Amino acid sequence: MATEVLVPTLGESITEATLGEWLKQPGDAVAADEPIASLETDKVSVEVPSPVAGVMGQHAVAVGDTVQVGAMLATVDAGGSAPAKTDAPQPAVTESAAPAKDEPQGDTAAALSPSVRRAVLEHGVDPATIKGTGKDGRLTKEDVAAAASAKPQAPAASASANAPSDGAAAGRADADSAPARRKEERVKMTRLRQTIARRLKEAQNTAAMLTTFNDVDMTAVIEARAKYKDLFEKKHGVRLGFMGFFVKAATMALKDIPSVNASIEGDEIVYHDYADISVAVSAPNGLVVPVIRDAQDLSVAGIEKTIGDFGRRAKSGELKMDEMKGGTFTISNGGVFGSLMSTPIINPPQSAVLGLHRIEDRPVVVNGQVVVRPMMYLALSYDHRLIDGREAVTFLVALKNAIEDPTRILIDL
């Protein structure tokens, strides 16, 4: 008997999604609660499990289609069994009929999401040779990029061995002068990317955005991290990074400058006596922004544990909708990608976002002497309708003081 697989409830106020990929093909055996499809919503990817054990029936929708909550995705034949595999020998594939090595083929291609398939084509790698780090071992775009960067370059052939004869060179002259083949590919934007684009543009159109900069000497934090990172990881089971210091320092500065932690609703200003810090985390389909709830009450260790958990679950697509709702202030760390300086865009209805950047040695003057220190640029973008320049600068100075003297974080100064 065929059982219908329906689009599940996706969360408050979310009524539709886009089919991102099929994880099971018609005829595949499926177990009860085994994921058979992945849906992309405005914020995260959601896997749809099979309600029964059996055999995958026909797909009712195609990859890229928009589906409503409650709509039928496919059928599963309950209690059925997959077709037995034949042991008959397969015909040999001649060299002329063999598939091109730079394109994913057969079952491998069917298991790839559109974004991963596009990355495979762009980088010219064989997906069968790459170990996936996504959920259930599936490939992600990051896996493909890492494999491409690690792929050895073919050694250049010697000039004497490859030099053509004069006759051969003349015969190839016309071919060599022909223009190189150029390719284009049109790919529909994912629902997540469409949402990001819409919200960022809305932020620019609504807020009176301004960015204020400062820099911070990272010497003290780097020394503290080097001294205690092994003991920290042994005790707390998580690595000691820089984000724990910055999140904790930010919660202290937000308490001193409450307007940076506030938001505008109509003609009212909403002040929050708590700090729910949104942190930008890289996911296979783009950046997502889960929220560290009540960060002001967490230790540096508690913050690092929460961020580490977000990172792991973002990569495997297991973040929940509720974990990305709300937030009173955002921290985005472009430094992990090598950014020197940027002007981040606020995440409405929040009124401010802190941008962190890469650490690099620069000459600075300390006590009248020019010394080399590890410096980082800080950028605070804010809604000038609510936050004045004086408040923005005061916030950055308070943050700078706490990072340059981490003892302030310990004694809440």
More confident residue, 196 or 104: 196
d(CA 408, CA 344): 27
User: Does 398 lie in the same domain as 249?
Assistant: yes
Q: What is the DSSP letter of 35?
A: E
Q: Using 50, 70 and 90 to split pLDDT, how confident is the model at 102?
A: very low
Q: How confident is the model at residue 276 (pLDDT cuts 50, 70, 90)?
A: very high
384 is catalytic: yes
CB 76 within 8 A of CB 3: yes
215 and 72, same structural domain? no
What total of structural domains would you count in the chain?
2
Residue 216, domain member (yes or no)? yes
Residue 244, CA distances (Å) to 249, 250, 341, 409 in order: 8, 10, 21, 11
Q: What is the CATH number of the domain that holds 6?
A: 2.40.50.100
The whole-number pLDDT of residue 160 equals 45
**Could you list the residue range(s) of the whole structural domain that residue 28 is in?**
2-78
The confidence band for 237, taking pLDDT boundaries of 50, 70 and 90, is: very high
Kindly report the average pLDDT of the chain as a whole number.
82
Given the residues 273, 388, 405, 412, the one annotated as active site: 388
Given a cut of 90, whether residue 20 has pLDDT beyond it is: no
Query: Is residue 202 situated within a structural domain?
Result: no
Mark which of 60, 78, 96 sits at the end of a domain.
Answer: 78
Look at residue 139 and tell me if it is in a domain. no
What does pTM read for this prediction? 0.64
319 lies in a domain? Answer: yes
**Residue 86 domain-assigned?**
no
Q: Is residue 195 assigned to a domain? A: no
User: Which position among 123, 236, 272, 384 bears the catalytic label?
Assistant: 384
388 included as an active-site residue? yes
Among 78, 101, 124, the domain-final residue is 78
CATH of the domain at 334: 3.30.559.10
Can you tell me the distance from the alpha carbon of 141 to that of 159, in angstroms, rounded to the nearest whole number? 37
Specify the pLDDT at position 157.
Answer: 44
Residue 102 lies in a domain: no
User: Is residue 325 included in any domain, yes or no?
Assistant: yes
Of the three residues 78, 94, 125, the one that is the final residue of a domain is 78
Alpha helices in 166-286, H assignment, sequence order: 166-171, 173-177, 191-206, 219-236, 243-256
Strands 352-356 and 329-333: parallel
